[in-house]
Structure 1
């Protein structure tokens, strides 16, 4: 093989990844799977498409080795093929956010009041959570929290907040987060918390952004106590 042909082959192989992520729905699938493995049925419900189209998108991602699949009974369960795939999604979104004015405008519309954002750096936020000065609230579905969550966070899915308000302190700021900047769960949570007079801010990070920044996550792969100890040891 001559050098020109070899070079063309190299770029062609990398382009497979570009082709695989060149779809809004496939990018959303990467964001969803970055929260933890999910069945085709769950992904279909999240995407708001039909199961045939979801399966086709997943096949494209699988052909590019970005996701893997296993059978669980009658269900096909998908997961990212590695943490680098979640980092790829974060990088793509960050580059788009930096250069595309249309995306910047759309994101601005998601934040009705910028003062509601948590305007502190990640390390400061982590220190505040460790000292108990704030309450870090994960408002994603509990299964996603179990897979991985920010250190010292507690799980309270947005659908459960109304009935669990008594578990939240009124003398501390609550920092709610969900799947990242494109997720609306945290905005819904803030609306509920503010309506009941609680102090609350939104963190735009999700677990993918946190991991991409090189910060630790807590998982429940082992007993919760061991996981917490492992997180603290990493800080």
Structure 2
């Protein structure tokens, strides 16, 4: 039997596999998929110690999955390009199809989301001009300003309960947050439904919206429907 010799082709392919074989690095990629951040911002958003965040970023850079830019004394990190985002989405979908444990973990994290009847990105794209729908971005106002679903109004989850009277009661509300594992939009939809609104979350959040080729609108946060 011929002894297997590691070939350069597979050694290079394995670099991506080794880089992704870390829950911490996958978490960092998921957070960076929402927007670029400094190491400090990324550490806080991902809830990972600063020193560890910096070390993991270097490995992600070595595999060309993230890149950076300097603004004065600050260094901002972001995904290398949109292909990384699409690859993450395909990985997440593939893993969900194959791993019952992942589906269970997502259910425990988000709660029972099937009953919330999520709107797909494709469906929402076809309803952007529908007067019977209001799109609500429940992320922070700063995140909204950097890029949002066209026409979406900014109502961060922390403000939602106090701003319910700003929302029309005779339309369907679609709420979204950052990505497929974000708990914010399911929480928002449950709150809205508890107060008599017809509400559904956007499946996969803003990440899925972008990954399916839909454009983003930028600018100052819209404050009302």
Q: TM-score, normalised by structure 2?
A: 0.85
RMSD of Structure 2 on Structure 1 (CA):
2.3
Q: Is the 8 A contact 1:40 1:75 kept in 2?
A: no
Per-residue deviation, 1:56? 0.9
Q: Distance in 2 between matches of 1:75 and 1:23?
A: 26
Q: Distance in 1 between matches of 2:42 and 2:54?
A: 9
Question: What is aligned with 1:146?
Answer: 145
Aligned residue for 1:175, secondary structure, equals strand
Q: Distance in 2 between matches of 1:32 and 1:113?
A: 21
Q: Is the 8 A contact 2:181 2:204 kept in 1?
A: no
Matched residue count: 216
Per-residue deviation, 1:199? 2.1
Q: Is the 8 A contact 1:117 1:203 kept in 2?
A: no
Aligned residue for 1:161, secondary structure, equals helix
Q: Which runs of 5+ in 1 are unaligned?
A: 225-235
Q: Is the 8 A contact 2:120 2:203 kept in 1?
A: no
Greater alpha carbon shift after TM alignment, 84-93 vs 102-111: 102-111
2:44 pairs with 1:67: no
Which one has the bigger helix percentage?
A: 1
Per-residue deviation, 1:185? 0.9
Q: Is the 8 A contact 1:67 1:80 kept in 2?
A: yes
- Label 1:80 to 1:128 Cα distance change in 2 as closer, same or farther (>3 A): same
Per-residue deviation, 1:58? 0.9
Greater alpha carbon shift after TM alignment, 83-92 vs 102-111: 102-111
Q: Distance in 2 between matches of 1:190 and 1:157?
A: 12
Q: Is the 8 A contact 1:139 1:155 kept in 2?
A: yes
For residues 106-121 of structure 1, the aligned pairs below 5 Å read 106-109=105-108, 110-112=110-112, 114-118=114-118, 120-121=119-120
Per-residue deviation, 1:113? 5.2
Q: Comparing both chains, which one has the higher relative contact order based on Cα–Cα distances under 8 Å and sequence gaps of 6 or more?
A: 2
Aligned residue for 2:170, secondary structure, equals coil
Aligned residue for 2:182, secondary structure, equals coil
Per-residue deviation, 1:121? 4.6
Q: Distance in 1 between matches of 2:203 and 2:105?
A: 14
Q: Distance in 2 between matches of 1:204 and 1:123?
A: 10
Aligned residue for 2:78, secondary structure, equals strand
2:158 pairs with 1:159: yes
Q: Distance in 2 between matches of 1:105 and 1:115?
A: 16
2:15 pairs with 1:16: yes
Q: TM-score, normalised by structure 1?
A: 0.82
Per-residue deviation, 1:67? 0.8
- String of CA shifts for 1:38-63, please: whole Å, max 9, x gaps: 11111111221210011111111111
- Label 1:123 to 1:113 Cα distance change in 2 as closer, same or farther (>3 A): closer
- String of CA shifts for 1:192-233, please: whole Å, max 9, x gaps: 32333322112222233223323x22232xx78xxxxxxxxx
Aligned residue for 2:95, secondary structure, equals helix
